[in-house]
A and B are shown apart, each in its own frame.
Chain A
């Protein structure tokens, strides 16, 4: 054992912010489940949803004709129509099929004939239009104006194109909130934060290391998801790639700030898990990850528009699919900056170090 007096007293040290970031990175990289949720899961989700909603030929609507001799002529008129699939049922069975959703519409013979359907079901309204149009034509109605249909199924306007920016935003949100908020509380429970504050460590360095390492993870998350989307589904990136990286980095830092705020007081991991879910689930539903946020009533639109995830997804979607430049998404950039800075500032003030 060497005498401590002979120990080198002035050994070189590395910058604490670098060492803190290195620690965060190592802990993350040595946790296989953390790696999967950050890098693997979004790709799996994109693949599953992309396959589920892939473009298929339009499905035929199931409709029923109430069986009777006078209805035979309609049955043969619809037999050649590709967009409807006719079931020949007696009165009771036809109504049962409608009620249970097996058919979208029932045609009841009579003078005049009756269409039975539920107008709140979109497929029923479509079936009514198709059936009525086909029967009227068969009965001799002529079109008064010629029309031309042009079918659009090209990349950039499919569901998968809509979905990828949403998934990117969702992934940045969950890895930011869990990867910062949850991890901080875990460190607090282990009294590791207390141990570190017993050193001359700068508290700002400590918090900053979380934010910086989130930014570094992004450099892995973004290319994996985007190149997967590009090679497998041919999803286009129409705007500037640099702008896209910048927006993702900003989103990532913003969610790291929100994660810090969520984890700044909690004394156990159950509390912070509840908080993260409380914050992320409403945004998952309303911010336009899986379907457009515009579907919600106008009265809540102003709120939804200023949610952190909405701002990020709108900006990424506009740049990726519409090829917009930075000025087109300035509002979203400002929203994200505000969320990030306010949350980071609050976290710094409210943080429980013991």
Chain B
């Protein structure tokens, strides 16, 4: 993390009529950091990002990007940011190269089109109309349009939503490369694997507020354990006694599923099985997985990210 923050916002509020989309949100993103806003649809991620990008005015609160405000230095800021919106349809009948030349013309400095095409692996599509590109190619072109001005900060709003696994990995590689140059990335996502792989730090957003903040590792550790055991059984499990078992940190019930956060799976699992046998509960199913940011979200809100 650099010394001076790249992005700061304080007490950000955005109202749409009577609906409060962003509700007193604070953020500080360091220079060179890859920062993720993680949350379900409708959590206020896009609204927050568009305020930071200077596309929406906040109802109240302060925003500083690279130490400047949008009101005072809009033109200078625009030159230094690269933005990819959640849904952009570029012009259907412009080719990849024509689209990039157009966007390139808006910026004072930036890479040449040929090397940019190579960077996003669209060299052999340079003469292809936008409308004829695949979803992954369209998204890579959108990212290329964000990189065309050689930005210091890259904003990506749900960059891989709706893409196939291969296209997602390709885009991740691109973002990691940008990050490796020490430049700042702010991305929103509702994929926890994406946040876990790309982000140095994550803010979990729900109902317009940050409800947890830290590195993916810290957040997962905050659960108290590194593994999650999910058990379906007959009869009423005794939650209090489960909680008292050594190595068990948290017990949650969701319908007929009991999920436990545990520290050392190999030690705790035999104890669990013995407990259920003593208690007379017949197990209908048992699964375990390494704890993810999804579990963090469930733990904080009682809901899944994509509910």
Which residues of chain B are within 8 angstroms of A15 by Cβ–Cβ distance? 105
Are A16 and B105 within 8 A (Cβ)? yes
Q: List 20 A-B contacts (CB under 8 A).
A: A4-B178, A4-B181, A7-B112, A7-B150, A8-B112, A9-B109, A9-B150, A14-B101, A15-B105, A19-B102, A22-B98, A23-B102, A26-B98, A190-B89, A191-B88, A192-B89, A195-B83, A198-B53, A199-B83, A199-B106
Contacting residues, chain B, for A26 (C-beta < 8 A):
93-94, 98
Instruction: Tell me if B119 counts as interface (CB < 8 A to partner A).
Output: yes
Cα distance A10–B108 in the bound complex, in angstroms: 8
Please report the C-alpha to C-alpha distance between residue A2 and residue B112 in the assembled complex, in whole angstroms: 12
A185-209 residues with Cβ-Cβ distance < 8 A to B are 190-192, 194-201
Contact B94 A19 (CB under 8 A): no
A197 CA to B106 CA, complexed, in Å: 10
User: Known: A26-B94, A191-B87, A198-B53. Contact between A11 and B113, CB under 8 A?
Assistant: yes
Residue pair A192, B90 in contact (C-beta under 8 Å) = yes
Q: Would you call B106 and A9 a contact (CB within 8 A)?
A: no
**A19 vs B99: C-alpha distance when bound (angstroms):** 9
B31 lies within 8 A of chain A by Cβ: no
- Interchain CB contact under 8 A, B85 and A194: yes
Contact with A along B103-130 (1 / 0, CB 8 A): 1111111111101101101000000000
Interface residue count for A (Cβ, 8 Å)? 36
Task: Digitize A165-195: 1 where CB-to-B-CB distance is under 8 Å, 0 elsewhere.
Answer: 0000000000000000000000000111011
Contacts from A to B (Cβ < 8 Å):
1-11, 13-16, 18-20, 22-23, 26-27, 30-31, 190-192, 194-201, 354
Contact between chains at B94 and A198 (CB < 8 Å): no
Tell whether A198 pairs with B111 under 8 Å between CB atoms, given A23-B102, A354-B55: no
Q: Are B105 and A18 in contact (CB under 8 A)?
A: yes
Q: Does B138 contact A (CB under 8 A)?
A: no
Say whether A20 contacts B102, CB under 8 Å. yes
Contact A200 B106 (CB under 8 A): yes
Contact B101 A8 (CB under 8 A): no
User: Chain B contacts of A196 at CB under 8 A?
Assistant: 106
Q: Which residues in B have their C-beta under 8 angstroms from that of A1?
A: 118-119, 121, 173, 177
**Is there an interface contact between B78 and A200, defined as CB atoms closer than 8 Å?**
yes
Kindly list chain A residues whose C-beta atoms are within 8 Å of the C-beta of B56: 354
Chain B residue nearest to A187 (CB atoms) is B91
Give the shortest distance, in Å, between B111 (CB) and chain A (any CB): 3
Flag if A199 contacts B103 (CB, 8 Å): yes
Counting CB contacts under 8 A, is B149 at the interface?
A: yes
A199 and B78 form a contact (CB under 8 A) = yes
Q: Taking the nearest CB of chain A, how far is it from the CB of B245, in angstroms? A: 50
CB distance A27 to B93 under 8 Å?
A: yes
- Indicate with 1 or 0, residue by residue over B131-151, a CB within 8 angstroms of chain A CB atoms: 000000000000001010110
B197 → A minimal CB distance (Å): 18
Smallest CB-CB separation from B81: which chain A residue? A198
Q: Which residues of B contact A198 (CB under 8 A)?
A: 53, 55, 78, 81, 83, 85
User: How distant is A250 from chain B, measured CB to nearest CB, in Å?
Assistant: 29
Judge whether B79 is part of the interface by a CB distance below 8 angstroms: yes
Interface-centre pick from A1, A6, A195 (highest chain B CB count, 10 A): A195
If A4-B178, A198-B78 are given as contacts, then 15 extra A-B residue pairs at C-beta distance below 8 Å, sorted by A number, are: A2-B118, A4-B177, A8-B115, A9-B110, A9-B111, A13-B108, A19-B105, A22-B98, A192-B89, A194-B55, A198-B83, A199-B106, A199-B149, A200-B78, A354-B55
Kindly list chain B residues whose C-beta atoms are within 8 Å of the C-beta of A2: 115, 118-119
Tell me the bound Cα distance from A13 to B116 in angstroms: 14
Q: Closest chain A residue to B98 by CB distance?
A: A26
What residues of chain B lie closer than 8 Å to A18, measured between beta carbons?
105
Which residues of A have CB within 8 Å of B149? Answer: 199-200
Q: In whole angstroms, what is the CA distance A38 to B111 when docked?
A: 38
Q: Is the CB of A13 within 8 A of B102?
A: no
Q: Could you tell me if B91 and A23 are in contact, using CB atoms closer than 8 angstroms?
A: yes
Known: A1-B121, A4-B177, A11-B104. A23 touches B109 (CB 8 A): no
Query: Which chain A residues border B165 with CB–CB below 8 Å?
Result: none
If A23-B98, A191-B89, A194-B85 touch, does A11 touch B78 (CB 8 Å cutoff)? no
